[in-house]
Amino acid sequence: MAMTMTQKILASHAGLESVTAGQLIEANLDLTLANDITGPVAIREMEKAGFDKVFDRNKVTLVMDHFAPNKDIKSAEQCLTCRNFAGKHEVVNFFDVGQMGIEHALLPEKGLVGPGELIIGADSHTCTYGALGAFSTGVGSTDLAAGMATGKAWFKVPSAIKFNLTGSLPKYVSGKDVILHIIGLIGVDGALYRSMEFTGDGVASLSMDDRFTICNMAIEAGAKNGIFPVDEKTMEYIEGRVNRPVTKYEADPDAVYDETYDIDLSALRPTVACPHLPENTKTIDELGKIEIQQAVIGSCTNGRIQDMREAAAILKGKKVQKNVRTIVIPATQEIYLQCIREGLAEIFVEAGAILSTPTCGPCLGGHMGILAHGERAVSTTNRNFVGRMGHVSSEIYLASPAVAAASAITGYITDPADVAE
Amino acid sequence: MKARGSVFKYGDNVDTDVIIPARYLNIADPVELATHCMEDIDTEFVKNVKKGDIMVATKNFGCGSSREHAPQVIRDNGISCVIASSFARIFYRSSINIGLPIMESEEAANAISAGDEVEVDFDTGIITDITTGEQFQAAAFPPFLQNIIRAGGLLKSLKEREG
């Protein structure tokens, strides 16, 4: 029976020759992930149920990134719970302030996730690692507790939607525009329970950072996972990071897909998702004049070095509007250092933006950039739900780093080409 | 087993950020956390909800963040069942894992109105709108999931298997 790429990874981790869509399986995990929000719940549930060991101290990861550096006493207590758990179980990959970064940028960077692997994380954006040709998906804290204790999880084998990518992206159009375009096309439940498999000649032209962004937001279409084939760029990325054998899975040529969409990358325009759903997309040309009071450039979606470079290229030698609070958040310490070494940090600060330590912070309305009533932000994050970044009457427009940077300069949501020299 | 109560009705794509806003996710005490359930879209919910009441919504209920605090606060407010046209997948799993009863029925989700008295029969999957007299058949759970539900959640079912 022909299988999709996702189905092959699931079959191999379940010890089965083949699987079919709809089948319930139990699969072995290569890695589990929790953060300072979901970790404490998982730890409590695990201990309450009487599990006193983790399945493998090398394969359990905990990243303190959401409300860290601790925003208040309650958040500090949550990190403490995770820290104590990590200490007790001698968890190797516990990332605290100083080593931590935003989890979905950090784990690939540290080589903790690789092609062909199976990862669950108690964070919905765990689907990011599909960019490396892995199967990864978000789960709740109880699933994660079971995963940490047993090294296994149950899955319903998903069917898949194929996205056949052709061409290459025009200037000022990036992975963010690709995924926003797709979510606009299929809706926030367009891929519910299913895989999004990206394939076609256009894949080769996409950078790894573009692919991470695209897979990151697969959940925003309801998908179980998003996945890219493994190619030269993947292997180049993992070189020196992943020091263990990896398996490259490919979809069978006759694999069955529920639907196929052809996406011509060269025809895409900068795309923005309007409040209050990621599916409410418009191209920059259709948007009209939307004034903003804040611009956020960062998050697990767009806090990688390419994002920093694209934003800096727009901001170089310019000033952000005085009434636009511009917050730039490199996703990891390594990216933060790169920003300093490449002179991007100076560009941001001279432009009137702030450069924050890695944190999820404002993306989920935690800290470091909360919106007041009626305020509007352009943000490179992933969700524009009611109240997501602050007051229930505030509004979030999701966009790429280039659009967010251009908008910070003009004070309204702007096509990067209009401010570039 | 049956549940019966009056209905709180919501629309499409109710996300976990409105079920329990992230600004409260630093709260470890489940009782305090539950007082903020639904507040960004329905400030009356926690004031009016009674034990046994039923939540009904249309498509993609529980989309967005994986936070298990979302099914947890709904359960801890005494909701006996969530009926929706469809559920986001992480919310679906977590509800089963933590013992919040859920039912998928597009017909029921569309037809039932706020304030209706509704009865859910978990053994047969039959949903009855007592107020209108209409009946609906929800999708059945596969045996694998029924085992988790019967054991009282995922971790208990794993412990059962160990023992």
Please indicate if any CB of chain B lies within 8 Å of the CB of A366. yes
Work out the average pLDDT over A76-104: 98
Q: At which residue do the structure tokens 């190619």 appear?
A: A231
How do the domains of chain A map onto residue ranges?
Answer: 5-264, 273-419
Substitution target from A75, A136, A141 for chain B, most B beta carbons within 10 A? A141
- The ipTM, to two decimals, is 0.96
Whether A5-264 shares its CATH topology with A273-419 is answered: yes
Segment A236-260 mean pLDDT: 97
| pLDDT beyond 80 at A244 | yes
CB neighbour burial string for B68-97, b if at least 16 within 10 angstroms, e if fewer: bbbbbbbbbbebbbbbbbbbbbbbbbbbbb
Interchain proximity A139–B94, CB inside 8 Å: yes
A386 Cβ under 8 Å from any chain B Cβ: yes
Q: Is a pLDDT exceeding 90 seen at residue A17?
A: yes
pLDDT at residue A421, as a whole number: 64
Is the CB of A222 less than 8 angstroms away from the CB of B63?
A: yes
What value does the mean pLDDT take over residues A63-88?
98
Q: Which residues in chain B are closer than 8 Å to A45, comparing Cβ atoms?
A: 155
Rounded distance, CA A335 to CA A323, Å? Answer: 27
| CA A376 – CA A290 distance, rounded (Å) | 9
Nearest CA in chain A to B141: A24
CA angle A150, A154, A158 (to 5 degrees): 150
Instruction: Report CB contact under 8 Å: B22, A145.
Output: no
- What pLDDT is recorded for position B123? 87
Q: Percent of chain A, pLDDT > 90?
A: 99
Name every chain A residue with its beta carbon within 8 A of the beta carbon of B67.
37-38, 140
The H or E element that residue A299 is part of is helix A299-302
Domains annotated on chain B, with CATH: 2-162 (3.20.19.10)
Interface test with B, best of A51, A55, A192 (most B CBs within 10 A): A192
On the question of pLDDT at B143 being above 90, the answer is no
CA distances from A101 to A147, A213, A259, A421, B70 (A): 23, 16, 36, 33, 25
Contacts of B153 in chain A (CB under 8 A): 142
CATH topology (fold) of A273-419: Aconitase; domain 3 (3.30.499)
- Does the distance separating the beta carbons of B65 and A364 come in below 8 Å? yes
Question: What values do phi and psi take at A75, rounded to 5?
Answer: -65, -40
Query: What are the tens digits of pLDDT across the range B72-101?
Result: 999 999 999 999 999 999 999 999 999 999
The tens digit of pLDDT for each residue in B112-139 reads 999 999 999 998 999 999 999 999 999 8
Task: Quote the mean pLDDT of chain B.
Answer: 95
pLDDT at residue B62, as a whole number = 98
Which of B67, B86, B98 is facing A192, going by the closest CB pair?
Answer: B86
Q: Is A93 helix (H, G, I), strand (E, B) or coil?
A: strand
CATH number of the structural domain A5-264? 3.30.499.10
pTM of the model: 0.98
Q: Judge: B26–A74 Cβ closer than 8 Å, yes or no.
A: yes
The CA-atom distances, in angstroms, between A161 and each of A146, A225, A226 are 29, 11, 10
